[in-house]
Chains A and B, each alone.
Chain A
């Protein structure tokens, strides 16, 4: 599979919302060179798990995370960890595109500016251009960078959000159902983008669309009732899953 050590190593992770256990003893490695898809029925914990990887659960009242999650061997729940820095290293793209109500340029420039990644205006412009190019949006917006980000189409907004995540030079990109609000063409563009970004960034994607998981990922993890039921090569999971629960879910027999 990968020649590199895993980018993220999660070991015996448990998550509670108040008294309710949402994640039950999940251990998983996220590869540097792969796209990892997290699939499972609603409420199975896949999004919750994704959010533990850049401590987005910290913002949820009464959420409690236990276990060991390491980014390049570094404990991300250590008291020494700078959470703002962590979220720059582990970026996130959400279900609904959520550009800032600012210009296209500002949407992308905001992150590098507050993280001090550019020392001059031209350097910042360079970052904005590179990020928009990598997000496959540059050609569509280069002549109207001062237009509002919210004026773009849904698919363009989502790619803008990906450009925004890329702009702070992350190592990992987490995507939580990034295409569920998009039409098939916009979805295909995002999937093509995921393919292009693979290798440069470690990518983990939560999706309800089985075909999408099959199309974009090399590794697939199936979650059910907070547990990791099966984790393996995507081709295996979709042609010959080992676990009956996985099979029933992906073939539409989940009751």
Chain B
């Protein structure tokens, strides 16, 4: 795309995009650390994840300030306007993703306190990687303004949903077979649900990327979900 005649406009948009990428990188990192903490029962790392969530919140506030400033001072139109609106929405979605990572971290000591770790805990990191990859791919699509890549992110959500369904069934089986695992399983169900929600939110980011790039809604392009 050509540069703006007013160079400061490009600088503002560049700064906004930089903040989103930074925020996305942090969110991704938080998911990874939360899952690692869970896997190892690492309480110190879990505490760190909970503390670092504040950094994501701070960038979200900065995105809001910058977006409002751009709208007020530059009166963006067409793709510029869509990009600023998308950045605002993406920032709030990334903040939610950070919250889910924080929530997983919060459960690490609680799970640890429930006693012996049950087997399904070992498959959750794989689900975590899948969710984290969706966030990563959505942000790559944002960086490249790539609507096709955004569509692929939305489509990949089905695999994560299937993963969740399978973990859900496994965990329910554990509860039925051994009621003493119930409190640990309940936490793990929430962890799995959080990861599933992160995938949905990565899909929301992809939807905004698609909208910013094309000016149309991605729903018009994806096959309707049954």
On A, residues with C-beta under 8 Å from B are 210-211, 214, 238-241, 246-248, 250-255
Contacts and interface: CB of A to CB of B under 8 A. Distances in A.
Contact of A210 (B1, B3, B77, B79): B77
With a 10 A CB-CB cut-off, give which of A238, A240, A255 has the most chain B CB atoms. Answer: A240
A251 B215 contact: no
Contact of A253 (B1, B82, B215, B216): B1
B80 A240 contact: no
23 contacts: A210-B77, A211-B75, A214-B77, A238-B77, A239-B77, A239-B81, A240-B78, A240-B82, A240-B215, A240-B216, A246-B78, A247-B78, A248-B2, A250-B78, A251-B76, A251-B77, A251-B78, A251-B79, A251-B80, A252-B6, A253-B4, A253-B5, A254-B5
Interface residues of B, number: 17
B7 to A, nearest CB: 11
B197 to A, nearest CB: 30
Given A238-B81, A240-B82, A248-B2, 18 more contacts: A211-B75, A238-B77, A239-B215, A240-B78, A240-B215, A240-B216, A241-B78, A247-B78, A250-B77, A251-B4, A251-B76, A251-B77, A251-B78, A251-B79, A251-B80, A252-B9, A254-B5, A255-B5
Contacts of B215: 239-240
Nearest to A253: B2
Contacts of A210: 75, 77
Nearest to B211: A240
Contacts of B81: 238-239
A246 B79 CA distance: 11
Contacts of B77: 210, 214, 238-239, 250-251
A252 B5 contact: yes
A210 B3 CA distance: 19
A42 to B, nearest CB: 14
A235 B215 CA distance: 12
A191 to B, nearest CB: 16
A40 to B, nearest CB: 15
Chain A interface, >50% SS class: helix
A156 to B, nearest CB: 28
A210 B5 CA distance: 15
A255 B2 contact: yes
Contacts of B6: 252
10 smallest CB-CB distances across A and B, nearest first, come from A240-B215, A253-B2, A250-B77, A251-B80, A252-B4, A247-B78, A251-B78, A238-B77, A252-B5, A251-B77
Interface in B157-215: 215
B78 A239 contact: yes
Nearest to A242: B215
Contacts of A248: 2
Nearest to A240: B215
Contacts of A239: 77-78, 81-82, 215
Nearest to A214: B77
Chain A CB within 10 A, most for which of B75, B76, B79, B80: B79
Nearest to B214: A240
A238 B78 contact: yes
Contacts of B5: 252-255
Nearest to B9: A252
**Which of A238, A246, A250 gathers most chain B CB within 10 Å?**
A250
A210 B82 CA distance: 17
